[in-house]
Every structure is written in structure tokens, then in C-alpha cells.
């Protein structure tokens, strides 16, 4: 353990010494280069944001989730990866009906009618999120876990599309309850009969 800490500290000191030696610490511009608010110079091949375009401010034009169907709205429920509660999952429900299940690094899309909705997530405690959904609107809701008295407690919070897009590459889609229900056009398959 002490060896690992020593190696880490030595690495930090070497990196600090390397980056510090690249700066000119003499002359009238030295204070501006070493001030914490100065824009850092990128490493070779890197890019930085310009003052007119802050880093992370742009989101994909269309995004990864298609638009809501006509006359409907949709809610994208997602949960980012976290060490705490990684093996814990929770179901998202509305009026007792299951919409889907959120495990670590997952998401699902619930297509719903516009209007008021109340979504719940339950482990040892219950969390309710009330939303007013508009026609054609896509709403993003992030599910997280925090430590409760004995178990983890779920938390649902609305976020913007940029937050979802930031984590999208690490998420996997899970089926919503609507995806697993048979469609009206589908006829249930009869089980194979055992030979007699």
C-alpha cells in the first residue's frame, strides 16, 4: 500500500515538474501564465474550447433517441454507472403499473399520453416524481441511488438531453414494459404439444 502511494506521489511530482519546466517563469507575462484562471495549453494533438464555445456546451443535433410519436410524449429513464449500488436495480412504475427496470448503466424509453404523470421508484423507500408531459416532448429522467438506513434508496430527477448524451456511450438499452407486451396484431404462439 505504501509503495503504491509512493509511486503515485512520485508520478504527480514528475508530471508537475515536467509541466512546470515548460512554462516561462520570467518576464512580465509570467504571472498570467501561472494564474489559475489562465487557459491551459493543450498537449500535442489536443483541442481546447474557445471562449465563445465552452467545452461540453454542444449536444448532438438530433441525439440518440428518436422523436416522440405523433400525439404522444416520451420519457427516457436512465441510470449512469456507479460503484455504489451497482448490483441494485429498481422498477419505475406509474399508478402501480411497471414501466421498466433500471439497473446500473441502463436506460429505457416510455411512450406515454401527454398530461400529468407521477412516476415512482421503490427499494426500502419510495421516491415519486411528478411531471407534466407535453405533446411531442421527450423528457429525460436520471435515476440514482443513495444509501438509506439499510438498503439503497432510489431518486428520480429530471435532467436535460445533454446529460443523457454525455453518458449514452456507456449505457445499454433495456426493454420497457410496453416493449415486452404483445402487440394487438401479434397472435400469441401456442406451446408445442408433447408427443403421445
Q: Which pLDDT band holds residue 177 (cuts at 50, 70, 90)? A: confident
CA dihedral sign, ordered 91, 93, 97, 99? negative
CATH architecture of the domain 73-180 equals: Sandwich (2.60)
pLDDT of residue 159: 97
Half-sphere exposure (CA, 13 Å, Cβ side) for 55? Answer: 5
Measured distance CA(126)–CA(155) in Å, rounded: 9
- What is the percent of the chain where pLDDT is above 90? 46
Across the range 96-124, mean pLDDT stands at 94
Query: What are the cell numbers at 88?
Result: 441494485
pLDDT of residue 149: 82
pLDDT of residue 82: 86
pLDDT digits (tens, 9 = 90+) for 2-15: 434 444 434 433 33
Backbone torsion region of residue 23, taken as left when φ is above 0, otherwise alpha when ψ lies between -120 and 50, otherwise beta: beta
Which residue, 35, 60, 39, is CA-closest to 51?
A: 39
pLDDT digits (tens, 9 = 90+) for 55-84: 333 333 368 999 999 999 999 999 998 888
Q: In a 10 Å sphere around its CB, with 0-12 CB exposed, 13-18 middle and 19+ buried, how is residue 63 labelled? A: middle
E-assigned strands of 113-160?
Answer: 115-122, 126-133, 138-147, 152-159
Q: Which pLDDT band holds residue 173 (cuts at 50, 70, 90)? A: very high
pLDDT of residue 6: 41
CA 108 to each of CA 12, 77, 99, 168: distance values in angstroms, whole numbers, following the listed order: 41, 6, 9, 12
pLDDT digits (tens, 9 = 90+) for 144-162: 998 888 888 999 999 999 9
Amino acid at each position: 500500500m505504501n509503495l503504491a502511494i509512493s509511486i503515485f506521489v512520485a508520478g504527480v511530482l514528475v508530471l508537475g515538474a515536467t509541466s512546470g519546466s515548460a512554462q516561462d517563469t520570467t518576464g512580465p507575462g509570467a504571472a498570467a501564465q501561472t494564474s489559475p484562471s489562465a487557459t491551459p495549453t493543450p498537449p500535442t494533438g489536443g483541442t481546447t474550447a474557445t471562449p465563445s464555445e465552452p467545452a461540453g456546451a454542444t449536444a448532438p443535433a438530433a441525439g440518440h433517441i428518436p422523436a416522440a410519436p405523433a400525439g404522444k410524449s416520451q420519457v427516457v429513464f436512465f441510470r449512469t454507472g456507479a460503484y455504489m449500488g451497482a448490483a441494485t436495480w429498481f422498477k419505475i412504475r406509474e399508478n402501480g403499473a411497471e414501466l421498466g427496470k433500471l439497473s446500473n448503466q441502463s436506460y429505457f424509453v416510455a411512450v406515454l399520453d401527454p398530461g400529468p404523470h407521477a412516476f415512482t421508484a421503490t427499494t426500502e423507500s419510495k421516491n415519486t416524481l411528478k411531471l407534466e408531459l407535453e405533446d411531442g416532448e421527450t423528457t429525460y429522467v436520471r435515476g440514482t441511488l443513495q444509501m438509506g438506513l439499510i438498503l439503497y434508496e432510489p431518486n428520480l430527477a429530471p435532467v436535460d438531453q445533454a446529460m443523457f448524451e454525455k453518458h449514452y456511450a456507456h449505457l445499454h438499452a433495456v426493454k420497457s414494459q410496453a416493449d415486452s407486451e404483445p402487440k394487438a396484431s401479434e397472435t400469441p404462439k401456442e406451446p408445442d404439444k408433447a408427443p403421445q
